[in-house]
Amino acid sequence: MAGMMMLERSVGTACLPGMSAAASPAATTGNTLMVPRCTIRVEKCAGGAKLHCVCDDELACATLQNLCKSLCDGLCSVNCLMNGICVCQCNFAMCHCTCECTPDGVCITCCSGDEACCQMVQACCECLAQCLAAGCNCCVCFSGTPVCCGCC
């Protein structure tokens, strides 16, 4: 369980509209939601951005990879929280996101062939990098369902 993070449902739902316990495949207990803990790194790439989610724990890594495999066809978003309050939410609705398993987690690539959309994706990447550098806890979601949480 060292590789898992507890989120209070009331805090998480403030940034995750439409999320409910019934919609979440992750383990739930009372007013909390268990998601894999990871280290998140973002980088610009040709046509968009990449999110690298890396887990230290084997169980957390397997959980993250399974969640991503089952949910990756939905809208990808990242919610950044500082002191439990949502300070930023980036939705990658303007591009196509794919998820690739890595030996220690996943790499989510969000790209667009449209130049204006690519610029928006890369601006989101810069914003997320600033939030992570400032110490925000970020939660990566597919279709509003968290798949992992962590910081840089």
In contact, 105 and 144? CB cutoff 8 Å: no
C-alpha distances (whole Å) from 146 to each of 26, 41, 47, 99, 119 are: 8, 17, 25, 14, 25
Given a cut of 60, is residue 13 above it in pLDDT? no
Question: Mind listing the pLDDT tens digit for each residue in 39-74?
Answer: 999 999 999 999 999 999 999 999 999 999 999 888
Confidence of residue 30 (pLDDT cuts 50, 70, 90): low
The DSSP code for 21 is G
pTM, two decimal places: 0.80
Q: Which pLDDT belongs to residue 11?
A: 41
